[in-house]
Amino acid sequence: MKTDPGTQSWLRAHNDRAALRLLLDHGPLSRAQLGELSGMSKPTARQMVARLERIGLIAPVGQVTGQRGPNAVAYGVRADTITGVAISMLADSIQAVGVDPTGTEHEIVEIPTTGRHRSPAADVTAAVAAACTAAGLRPDSVSVVAIGVQAAVDEAADSLSLTDTLPGWPAQGARAELEAATGLTVILENDVNLATMAERVMGVAKEATEFAYLWVGHGIGLGIDLGGTVHRGAAGGAGEIGYLEVPRSATDLDPDADDFTDLLGGPHLLAQLGREQDCLERALPLLTERPDLIAGLADRITLALQPTCAVLDPGLIVLGGPTCLAAGASLAELVAQRMAGTYPGLRVELSGVGDQPVLLGARRLLVATLREELETRISQSIEIETEGES
């Protein structure tokens, strides 16, 4: 049954959704505070609270003090009604964190993948269980997962390509396989695209009209934000610059490099640090002691950015990923200096969202998704209530 605009049932659903948003934005509120913020009368505010409490979306969480008269009951959104898990699939581990609609920060867990049986269902089931345990969430409250993968994701075709770090995952039908095996709604997204989303909302790109996000770590990738929308391309492959062949001018930097991953990726940096047998994360702190390597890295990044700037002409380049973060702000300054001759108005900034941008982007995506689901439940409850009255 569809609720028609202007009817009493539509008005109730509209008011209840407005009340829910206020509670999510402001935290616990009394009925009087909810009425003041929403502009509703006290009787209407009481009815909104009663309906939201009846369908299990809010609950009393304490009392409001500091006001005249007796203390009033404060109501807050229940964080356990519907939850999600944000997951980042790395080269040798899986990171995950529980997410609830209030946006509460929970502990990040990391699961080593060495020696484990790998498949979409096995990986995601383990990640959900570990994240729920760390966050104190009920596994049966999880309804959706957002997974950042080091691959090109074609959402419409449910296909993955360039999946070097996803052993056991099929090129076709991974999302459908996961949803069938787990019963969860599954969002698959390229990891650098998720980091780009986080940078737009919380990082140095909040005010940018458009920007490009260059990730440098084990591999390299590019996120493209055009007016607040991530550009994925026709089949999800936009930004996979690591597979581009290097130009002839790269010979002076590295005569053995065939593509930009060879020029900038983890194996190159480990060799330069003399730590070929070490893992990249353990070796990266040594970068701060090697300004010569940071300068060389700036040369290589400048070369990798030339095709991006020639095609997109962005106003801002954000440098992210573990290698760029380890090199620090001096790397961004050096790249800006090298780019200034060709692109004088270009800003180059170091990422401002910390060392977990993929999980942060996935988490932000899930909070919005969970809140939409709560609003859907309000509409569904009003429809059921209306049918019962007819």
363-381, pLDDT tens digit by residue?
A: 999 999 999 999 999 999 8
Do 92 and 38 sit in the same domain of this protein?
Answer: no
Of 35, 60, 78, the domain-final residue: 78
- Residue 174: the pLDDT is 96
User: What is the pTM assigned to this prediction?
Assistant: 0.91
- Residue 19: the pLDDT is 95
Condensed to tens digits (0 to 9), the pLDDT of residues 108-144 reads: 999 999 888 999 999 999 999 999 999 999 999 999 9
Q: Which pair of tokens denotes residue 386? A: 């209306």
CB 211 within 8 A of CB 205: yes
Cβ–Cβ contacts within 10 Å for residue 273, how many?
A: 18
Of 30, 54, 78, the domain-final residue: 78
- Residue 257: the pLDDT is 95
Do 178 and 297 sit in the same domain of this protein?
Answer: no
Of 56, 78, 100, the domain-final residue: 78
Does 383 reside within a domain? no
CB 216 within 8 A of CB 301: yes
Q: Which residues of the chain have pLDDT under 70?
A: 1-6, 66-71, 388-390
Does 243 reside within a domain? yes
Do 209 and 342 sit in the same domain of this protein?
Answer: yes
Do 122 and 186 sit in the same domain of this protein?
Answer: yes
- Residue 5: the pLDDT is 65
CB 38 within 8 A of CB 18: yes
Does 377 reside within a domain? no
The mean pLDDT of the chain is: 93
CATH of the domain at 170: 3.30.420.40
CATH of the domain at 53: 1.10.10.10
Rounded-to-integer distance, Cα 388 and Cα 89, Å: 46
- Residue 162: the pLDDT is 84
Do 208 and 324 sit in the same domain of this protein?
Answer: yes
Rounded (10°) CA dihedral 97, 100, 104, 108 = 0
Percent of the chain topping pLDDT 90: 85
Does 137 reside within a domain? yes
Do 275 and 218 sit in the same domain of this protein?
Answer: yes
Does 364 reside within a domain? yes
Does 163 reside within a domain? yes
Q: Which pair of tokens denotes residue 30? A: 């009394």
Do 40 and 137 sit in the same domain of this protein?
Answer: no
Q: What is the DSSP letter of 287?
A: G
Do 237 and 304 sit in the same domain of this protein?
Answer: yes
Do 246 and 300 sit in the same domain of this protein?
Answer: yes
Q: Which residues contact residue 186 at a Cβ distance below 8 angstroms, ignoring those fewer than 6 apart?
A: 124, 144, 145, 147, 175, 178, 179
Please give the tally of structural domains in the chain: 3
Do 346 and 208 sit in the same domain of this protein?
Answer: yes
Do 29 and 110 sit in the same domain of this protein?
Answer: no
Does 50 reside within a domain? yes
- Residue 91: the pLDDT is 85
Do 148 and 24 sit in the same domain of this protein?
Answer: no
Q: Which pair of tokens denotes residue 262? A: 């060879």
Q: Name the nearest CA neighbour of 343 among 376, 302, 375, 385.
A: 302
- Residue 276: the pLDDT is 82
- Residue 1: the pLDDT is 42
Does 378 reside within a domain? no
Domain interval for residue 289: 204-350
CB 61 within 8 A of CB 135: no
